[in-house]
Structure 1
Amino acid sequence: MAVENGERVATRWMQVVEPQIGRLTQLLNILNDERIPDGSPIELADSSDFSHEQVLIDDKAA
């Protein structure tokens, strides 16, 4: 709602968390995949740091 209303803070927050949401969606898809046996070790490809702090540092460095 806030993003649709054009609130800059909400829009910026969404830009920051979109990569995290995408990674969590990937993880959930893997965890819910019945072809993968329970207890299997899981590692997502490109395990970059998506912490909020790292995003801010990367943004400032660019």
Structure 2
Amino acid sequence: MKEFLSSFLLITSWLIFAISGYLFIWTIFFVYAIVPAFLSLAVGLFCFYCSKKLDSNIKKNS
């Protein structure tokens, strides 16, 4: 019985290590993928704000 339990725990620990490594890789990938997405969103919103600001200045001066 001890041999079975020892083997079961060893296989379970390998499985847990494999799952945690897989999740760690996806976490790193997601972080590196989300940063450029938020950066491009921020730049897009900034350009939109500047466009509206310039448009309101043009209308005010006319």
TM-score by length of 2: 0.40
TM-score by length of 1: 0.40
Larger RCO: Structure 1 or Structure 2 (Cα < 8 Å, ≥ 6 residues apart)?
1
Larger-gyration structure (1/2): 2
Return the structure number with greater helix share. Answer: 2
